[in-house]
């Protein structure tokens, strides 16, 4: 389902359906995902429809969360000086964009998961995050493609003590998502000390993947931050 299509197309996969139909400049956009449906009218001379995974913090309400918190099913205990790579899963949100030579316009976002929020940090100064729970994998896991994606995390413990890790927090503003048949993100986690860490993203595109369109850029938001500081512990 992910990909670029003309303004006359029908996409069906499992319980997701996207239809763009009509003649001339006037087109009907229809999307169904489970029981959720939406219909819009498009006036356009040309352009394309792009369907791709987007930063998974927009639903159920836009603006509530700008961070994704991945909670691990089992704690990960990391030796001082150790560098290693793990894989986890993250929740999928799907964006639909209208694209021409001049502009990119987001017209729809949907998801097949039940979104949940959590608080990272103290009640008086913490941040609201989109919440997801995942197992830890040594290699790329198989995923339910329209429900979850693969998040590769390179972890480096630069502290002189063992550190126990049960959660990771990522800033959606600096997130970069890639896709082919499924969604993929590559991130770094640097453990600075017992309570502080730094997460960043790899923006280099894998050879067999396409880069997703960025919701924030399509909205005219300037992305200045390149990293997120986890200052309220790892568990």
What would the pLDDT profile of 165-214 be if each residue is shown by its tens digit?
Answer: 999 999 988 899 999 989 999 999 999 999 999 999 999 999 999 999 98
pLDDT at 60 over 80: yes
What is the token pair recorded at 212? 């997703």
Indicate whether 34 pLDDT > 80.
Answer: yes
CB 165 within 8 A of CB 72: yes
Contact 29, 40 (CB under 8 A): yes
Tell me which residue has tokens 């819009």: 40
**148-157 and 183-191 strand pairing:** parallel
Averaged over 135-152, what is the pLDDT? 95
What mean pLDDT comes out for the span 14-41? 94
Q: What is the pLDDT of residue 168?
A: 97
Tell me: pLDDT of 36 over 80.
yes
pLDDT digits (tens, 9 = 90+) for 76-91: 999 999 999 999 999 9
Tokens in use for 173?
């503003």
Q: Position of tokens 């860490």?
A: 197
Element (H, E) at 20: strand 16-21
Round to whole Å and give the CA distance between 14 and 36.
14
> Under a CB-based contact definition with an 8 Å cutoff, are residues 132 and 91 in contact?
yes
Cβ(78)–Cβ(120) below 8 Å:
no
Say whether pLDDT at 159 is over 90. Answer: yes
């Amino acid at each position: 389902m992910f990909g670029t299509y003309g303004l006359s197309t029908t996409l069906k996969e499992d319980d997701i359906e996207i239809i763009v139909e009509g003649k001339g400049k006037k087109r009907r956009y229809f999307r169904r995902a489970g029981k959720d449906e939406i219909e819009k009218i498009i006036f356009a001379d040309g352009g394309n429809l792009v369907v791709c995974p987007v930063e998974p913090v927009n639903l159920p309400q836009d603006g509530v969360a700008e961070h994704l918190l991945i909670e691990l099913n089992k704690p990960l205990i990391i030796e001082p000086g150790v560098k290693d790579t793990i894989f986890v899963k993250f929740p999928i949100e799907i964006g639909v964009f209208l694209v021409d030579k001049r502009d990119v316009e987001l017209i729809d976002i949907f998801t097949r998961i039940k979104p949940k929020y959590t608080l990272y940090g103290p009640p008086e100064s913490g941040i609201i995050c989109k919440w997801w729970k995942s197992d830890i994998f040594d290699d790329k896991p198989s995923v339910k493609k329209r429900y979850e994606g693969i998040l590769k995390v390179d972890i480096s413990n630069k502290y002189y003590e063992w550190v126990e890790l049960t959660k990771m927090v990522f800033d959606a503003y600096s997130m970069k998502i890639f896709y082919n048949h499924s969604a993929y993100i590559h991130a770094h986690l640097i453990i600075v000390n017992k309570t502080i860490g730094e997460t960043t993203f790899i923006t280099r595109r894998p050879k067999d993947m396409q880069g997703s369109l960025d919701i924030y850029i399509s909205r005219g938001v300037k992305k200045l931050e390149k990293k997120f500081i986890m200052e309220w512990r790892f568990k």
